[in-house]
Structure 1
Amino acid sequence: MVMVYMFLFSPLVSIILISPLRKRIITSVDVPAYEVEKGGVVRVNVRLENKSFMPIPFINIEFTQPVNFRLSGTYNHITSLGPFEKKVVTMEYTAKSRGVGEVGVSGIWLKDYINIFRIPLSINDDEEKVTGEVTVLPRLVSLKPTSSILLGSSESFKQEDSDTANMNLFSWNGEPGYEFREYMPGDSLHKVHWKLSARNETLMVRKDEGGGLSKKRLFLDSYIKPVQKKQDIKTFYQILFGFSPKNKEKNFSNMEDDILMLEEKTLEALIAVANTSVKTGSEVELWLYENEDWNKYGITDSKTINDIQYRLASYKFSNISNLDSSKRLPLNEIAEDEGKSRYLKGTQSMVFTGNLDNALYKAVESFADYGVIVDVVSIKSVSSGKVNNEEKIANLRGDSWVLGTDEDISEVFS
């Protein structure tokens, strides 16, 4: 009989013993709020202090679970504190995809001795935030200055040669010729400015006398083929059995991951080319299809590279399959823009795509009809093992690169 009473009253006794300890536990959370590149790590530190002589059996910490971060441990963490003990619990968040994620703590609870009840604990004196927004930027990959993708295709150089022949010295590539950059492997030594090099103690060449083209025009193809769900099979299972087959849901999740990896690799390849081109003295302009319109962004230094990383962190690709060619490449906008520009040719144009379909192929060919050769960087999924319209890549007039989502960008572009 005594055992029965003990069993019945044990929860009440447990909660009575633990309740006074609530105000004897000091908690605080160090919350990050900044940007990190994909693959980077941010840490959330939870500081606990027991100011009583009674041991604390269970403290339950729940961490947030942003979809674009991977946690180093379980989000639902259980710890304990001895008499007058201090402890720091750290959770690492590894950025796995671009976008904004909320990292931190969703709550901290004190649990009783038999682990039935829990009492919420105040955090940071209820004055400071316990979560922070962290922006995951597309990863910035370094390329060698001598990478083939930075040198321009032979067709692009033919454009530059034919165009330069018609220019006089006062319209030399649209630049006065007095801007300089550091010497890069592949530059001709007879183009070195020796007096300036002696003053700077490093070899300097004129900005418009590098080994590659003086201007690069980069396009981002906004179309990514959407995930195709087999609704008929799913609906059939739901009607008969009231649930969807697990393997179908798993396959669909894998397809979504493939789409995400295509987007991430496409952006990483684009930023890598833009960043290294700027470092080697090239002028870069980036064309993005946003809000039903094409927008042009000039990239000139590391600050504008960082600005583009921020913009692409929240860039939304389109899954509308019937996008016409004007929404895949900005031919009309380029024609209008170049009418105001002194750069008519001599520009390396390049499109980065995760779906080289017939519409994009025709758009690239349309540029060629106007005398503008567009090189193509096509990203292929690991699961598919091939790129769309692979046979047409060989027929493109410009150069082309095929990059797998699991391949190293610097090696493929070397």
Structure 2
Amino acid sequence: MKMKINKLKPLLGGLVNYFAAVALAVIFALFLSGRVGWFLVTAFVAAPVISVLMTLMFVRRIYVSCDADSVIMCKGDSCELTVNVTNGVFLPTPPVLADMSDLPSVTASEKHYSISVLPFDTESFTVCYKAVICGPAVIGVKSLRVSDYFGIFSFEIKSADISEMTYTVSVIPDIVRVNFSDPVVSRAAELSAFADDSEDTTDAPAGKFGGFPGYDSREYVPGDPLKRINWKQSAKRGKLLVRLDDETVSSAVSIVLDSVFDKESVFLPAVAAEGRFLGAENEALTALMAQDAIEHSLGITRAFIMQNYSVSYFLMGKNGWECFPAADENDLAALRTELASYSFLKTGTRFPEEELKNQKGSVSVFCTPYLDNALNEQLSSEAADGRGALQTVIYPSAVSPRVNSPKGGEAE
């Protein structure tokens, strides 16, 4: 309804102005000069027809192009879109009306523009777009029309292809600061310590940030911290062994970014009541939910890297699930660029079960914008079926991290 009202405003304004002009001409004819006055009345009555006919000349003789100075931005950055309007007729154009795309993720400085162009000339205007929320977004001209001189009627410009006047820009996500003590991270680390399925160790690289000395094994002595027990070696050798500070143990964890986010299934009042996105309008909530999952997945990845974990990051690509090994800040920078153009699907495979079987370790952190019923049922079904030994920690969690256990049921 709101869109219809907005479209009627120019029409109503043009009609009011037109009838006011006709009324003045009638008054002039009746009280001042009959001959001249009735000539003016006739001219005003015929003027809309003449105006429409002249406007129709421009429908195919106005040429519009646009150019964006950047298609990838960081949050908070801006890009400029320049729109060029060229008049191919020997008369000045009536108003050319351009409506610009404006999204919660990339906002336009102005949404509506009106411009007139002299004969065989070109006029330009510039729209500034600011990146607010990460991910892909479309900027450019949303609709383009030419109005008659009275502003009563408007027509689409036939010579302009709207699809050629839009650009998809990518907004690079930030990396949220996530501490290793975060409930989701600490729970995944705890599960990884007890579920490590290998004895692989690796020398600590000298230049790796967050590295610390690793461990070799010796026999357990009462008083040794339980967290340093090498459970795998202990089980194989029949006695408790603890790790020594000679080399780095390669603990493994997988980070999985949900591939599906059906925005229409989100109950927005419930999300707003959580208070995670204070001050956000309803139309921006789903975009912020998607951003939250992406940026926290990067923060969780960094938290594990800082503790010298072997991290595999999974996301849905054009050809299915893709794995990105993450070991340092360079890998995180590449991931940020990749995620700048990441789009969630409405339906599809949500968990890379087969791909994870080939990964070292048996713990994953599943980052989703929205823990909906379909995802809950899928994870519970996989747990009940006991497929594999994978345990999954879910982000976000309202109170404490939800863990999907392969033995059936859910653990908190």
TM-score using structure 2 length: 0.53
Would the aligned equivalents of 2:99 and 2:143 in 1 still touch at CA under 8 Å?
A: yes
The structure-2 alpha-carbon separation of the partners of 1:19 and 1:276, relative to structure 1 and needing over 3 Å to count, comes to same
The structure-2 alpha-carbon separation of the partners of 1:107 and 1:3, relative to structure 1 and needing over 3 Å to count, comes to same
The equivalent residue for 2:345 is 316
Q: Distance in 2 between matches of 1:259 and 1:365?
A: 29
The equivalent residue for 1:377 is 395
Would the aligned equivalents of 2:251 and 2:309 in 1 still touch at CA under 8 Å?
A: yes
The structure-2 alpha-carbon separation of the partners of 1:265 and 1:351, relative to structure 1 and needing over 3 Å to count, comes to same
- Percentage of identical aligned residues: 14
1:271 equivalent in alignment to 2:298: yes
The equivalent residue for 1:153 is 186
The equivalent residue for 1:134 is 168
Q: Distance in 2 between matches of 1:366 and 1:331?
A: 15
> Where do 5+ consecutive residues of structure 2 fail to align?
1-37, 215-244, 268-280
The equivalent residue for 2:237 is none
Would the aligned equivalents of 1:32 and 1:42 in 2 still touch at CA under 8 Å?
A: yes
The equivalent residue for 2:96 is 60
Q: Could you give the per-residue CA deviations for residues 36-81 of structure 1, whole angstroms, max 9, x where no partner exists?
A: 4566544322246899999x68532313537676653664422457
TM-score using structure 1 length: 0.53
Q: Distance in 2 between matches of 1:178 and 1:394?
A: 31
What is the DSSP-based 3-state SS (H/G/I as helix, E as strand, rest coil) of the residue aligned with 1:141? Answer: coil
Q: Distance in 1 between matches of 2:68 and 2:48?
A: 35
What is the Cα deviation at residue 374 of structure 1?
3.5
Q: Distance in 1 between matches of 2:64 and 2:286?
A: 41
The equivalent residue for 1:5 is 42
The structure 2 residue matched to 1:114, chosen from 139, 150, 155, is: 150
What is the DSSP-based 3-state SS (H/G/I as helix, E as strand, rest coil) of the residue aligned with 2:207? Answer: strand
Name the Cα RMSD after superposition: 5.8
The structure 2 residue matched to 1:45, chosen from 78, 82, 86, is: 82
The structure 1 residue matched to 2:205, chosen from 142, 155, 179, is: 179
The structure-2 alpha-carbon separation of the partners of 1:60 and 1:112, relative to structure 1 and needing over 3 Å to count, comes to same
Would the aligned equivalents of 2:105 and 2:284 in 1 still touch at CA under 8 Å?
A: no
Aligned AA (2:371): N
Aligned AA (1:376): I
Alignment of 1:11-410 (within 5 A): 11=48, 29-31=66-68, 34-36=71-73, 41-47=78-84, 58-65=94-101, 71-72=107-108, 75-80=111-116, 88-94=124-130, 98-99=135-136, 101=138, 103-104=140-141, 106-107=143-144, 109=146, 113-116=149-152, 130-137=164-171, 139-143=173-177, 146-149=179-182, 152-153=185-186, 156-157=189-190, 159-160=192-193, 167=199, 171-172=200-201, 175=202, 177=203, 179-184=205-210, 209=248, 214-222=251-259, 227=264, 261-274=288-301, 282-288=309-315, 295-300=321-326, 301-302=331-332, 304-306=334-336, 308-309=338-339, 313-318=342-347, 329=351, 334=356, 336-338=357-359, 343-344=360-361, 349-353=364-368, 354-355=370-371, 358-359=376-377, 362=380, 373-378=391-396, 387=398, 393=402
What is the Cα deviation at residue 17 of structure 1?
8.9
Q: Could you give the per-residue CA deviations for residues 225-245 of structure 1, whole angstroms, max 9, x where no partner exists?
A: 775699xxxxxxxxxxxxxxx
Q: Could you give the per-residue CA deviations for residues 94-117 of structure 1, whole angstroms, max 9, x where no partner exists?
A: 4557445252364364x5543456
Q: Distance in 1 between matches of 2:49 and 2:262?
A: 59
| Larger-Rg structure | 2
Would the aligned equivalents of 2:193 and 2:251 in 1 still touch at CA under 8 Å?
A: no
The structure-2 alpha-carbon separation of the partners of 1:361 and 1:17, relative to structure 1 and needing over 3 Å to count, comes to closer
What is the DSSP-based 3-state SS (H/G/I as helix, E as strand, rest coil) of the residue aligned with 1:153? Answer: helix
Q: Distance in 2 between matches of 1:119 and 1:137?
A: 34
